[in-house]
Amino acid sequence: MVVSWADARTAFSDAAGSFLRTVSLVEDRWAEPGLGEWDVRALVGHTSRALLTVETYLDRPAAAVEVASAVDYFSAATATGDPAAVTARGRDAGEALGPAPAAAVAEIAERVLALVGTRDGSELVTTIAGGMRLVDYLPTRTFELVVHTLDLARALSAPLEIPARPAAQALALVADLAVTRGRAGDLLLLATGRPGPAAGFSVL
């Protein structure tokens, strides 16, 4: 998947806006079930990391490109990821949002979007998977925002609405991952309402 910097930045901004709108629906439901072992606060905390890691990684310039695409990033990240550590980081991120989590998330988004607006996408950042160009890394954050905003909407019984640009970018990444991992047939069967693989199918 190849995207321009303008498309990457706009999709990221639109996805962040969708996330913020969904967070505004939480009100006093922070302790309710969110996703898996996470309550709503932990799910929102984890999702906020899709914003915070951009800020963190921009402070860690890379010397060279080691990961060439968003697909390569997910391939590397899922191969080395520790689910227990991800769960713990989500809880910690949720607690770090403090007594006014919705306001904290809004402040994070404002700060990170302003920072991204000062860049041109050519910056080399050090991610957990290795050095990447910002223009290639940002779609992975858009993907995380889209998917976890949907998780949050489901937890809140809210409409599953995602703006067109980040939705299209996330779907394109899913398609590329399915092709790369030999699961394109399964994905096409599921997407067209035909019997497909067992529950729990994922291209990640």
pLDDT at 180 over 90: yes
* Residue 81 confidence (pLDDT): 65
* Residue 196 confidence (pLDDT): 75
pLDDT above 70 coverage of the chain, percent: 99
Phi, psi torsion values for 3, nearest 5 degrees:
-130, 150
Q: Classify residue 98 by burial, with Cβ atoms within 10 Å: 0-12, 13-18, 19+.
A: exposed
* Residue in 30, 178, 191 with CA at minimum distance from that of residue 102: 30
Structural domain boundaries in the chain? 5-183
**What's the predicted TM-score (pTM) here?**
0.95
pLDDT at 80 over 90: no
* Strand duo 33-35 + 124-127: pairing: unpaired
* Residue in 107, 92, 108 with CA at minimum distance from that of residue 43: 92
* Residue in 102, 112, 97, 152 with CA at minimum distance from that of residue 13: 112
Fold category of 5-183 in CATH: Four Helix Bundle (Hemerythrin (Met), subunit A) (1.20.120)
Phi, psi torsion values for 132, nearest 5 degrees:
-140, 155
pLDDT digits 0-9 by tens, 34-57 = 999 999 999 999 999 999 999 999
Q: Which residues contact 23 (CB under 8 A, 6 or more apart)?
A: 44, 101, 102, 105, 106, 152
Alpha carbon 88 to its chain's center: 17
Q: What's the token pair of residue 184?
A: 């394109």
- In this structure, which amino acid lies at residue 176? D
The length of the chain, given as a count of residues: 204
CA gap 56, 49 in Å, rounded: 10
Residues 83-110, mean pLDDT to the nearest whole number: 94
